[in-house]
Structure 1
């Protein structure tokens, strides 16, 4: 089991895509999620990808099929202290089950392929990230789509080497989230504001740290 992708909610027409572009990151693709009420922009690395997600249709996000995900509330995280973060895992299955209780989310926007995603029950707590099983089975460097295979080669960045989930000082990580940290799938820390810090491997061996949502690179 390994990291497949991460998402963080931004405001519609928020500054984050422009900030990432100014740092040298290239958008690889964007998608709409009809029926779920969200859209995204994705930045692909060899082993995983980053998704900037925003709310497009609140009525769809609050529909009975989607409501338990609480995406509409997570999108308003600056107002309600919800976690804007999502962590998707791939490589799970009968031999490697997800290490927590889940519920089945029937995605309204996938006409083909896997339509049921297991979502962690502990993520019902809005203060915790939304953790779920990925609909994809392959690393991005094994995807067949040539357009997506370009990834972040212009910056010489290859992989996401580490994901650090930063929780507010007032929020303790759920036991299940701590289990993912114990298994080496992510790192946990606390701070005055929530977010994620990605450690990125560059081709020359250097490590870069990208912090979100402020979009700083060092």
Structure 2
């Protein structure tokens, strides 16, 4: 099991995307999620991608199908305890299944044969989920290939560290994630995600707060 992508819940996806573009990231194709009430902006690296997720339809996001995901709580921002992050994992070997307890979410925008396996965890933690059909961006077929060459030279996401201010015991999903190389969920004073690119070889970093609760180091 390995990290496929991370999402950050945003209100102003325009300014948020511009902040990543200003760092020298080339934007990939966006997606809409019919029936879920969300859409995204995406920035791809060779092994993973950064997703800016935003709300488009409150009724859909609170529907009977979507409500259990707690996406509305993360995206609306009314619950200060809700982590504005999600972490998606994919198999690192063929046929691998999630290593944490999950429930099946079958959104209408996916083919009937596919599913999202969502980790059982409090909303104070990131949304943990697993896509058994996901592949590395640099393994995508030509018709679905995304821009992977960036002016800043970014190549791969090599570590992710997420801070939560919540003090309750971590879920089984969180404990599982914390066993993976290059990943950490820790307690702190605020919701924050720190993404390391290319092992931080250049020694540079950019703090995107307050626009985004995110620090990128490379």
The answer to whether the superposition gives a TM-score over 0.5 is yes
TM-score under structure 2 normalisation?
0.86
Q: Using the TM superposition, give the Cα deviation of residue 206 of structure 1 relative to its aligned residue in structure 2, in angstroms.
A: 3.0
1:186 maps to which residue? Answer: 183
1:130 maps to which residue? Answer: 127
Q: For each residue in 1:85-144, what CA deviation from the matched residue of structure 2 results, as whole angstroms up to 9, or x when unmatched?
A: 11111117895331221111011112x37531111122xx11111111125432101112
2:53 maps to which residue? Answer: 53
User: Cα 1:68–1:94, aligned 2, differ >3 Å: closer, same or farther?
Assistant: farther
2:137 maps to which residue? Answer: 140
List runs of 5+ in structure 2 lacking aligned partners: none
Asked if residue 161 in structure 1 is aligned to residue 179 in structure 2, the reply is no
Across the aligned residues of Structure 1 and Structure 2, the Cα RMSD in angstroms comes to: 2.6
2:117 maps to which residue? Answer: 118
- 1:1-218 correspondence to structure 2 within 5 Å: 1-13=1-13, 15-77=15-77, 79-91=79-91, 96-110=96-110, 112=111, 114-122=113-121, 125-134=122-131, 136-145=133-142, 148-168=145-165, 170-184=167-181, 186-201=183-198, 205-206=201-202, 208-209=204-205, 213-218=212-217
Give distance in 1, aligned partners of 2:13 and 2:146.
26
User: Cα 1:94–1:149, aligned 2, differ >3 Å: closer, same or farther?
Assistant: closer
Q: Using the TM superposition, give the Cα deviation of residue 154 of structure 1 relative to its aligned residue in structure 2, in angstroms.
A: 2.0
Q: Using the TM superposition, give the Cα deviation of residue 73 of structure 1 relative to its aligned residue in structure 2, in angstroms.
A: 0.9
Q: Using the TM superposition, give the Cα deviation of residue 50 of structure 1 relative to its aligned residue in structure 2, in angstroms.
A: 0.6
TM-score under structure 1 normalisation?
0.86
The structure carrying a bigger strand percent of its residues is: 1
User: Cα 1:146–1:201, aligned 2, differ >3 Å: closer, same or farther?
Assistant: farther
Deviation beyond 6 Å, 4+ runs, structure 1: none
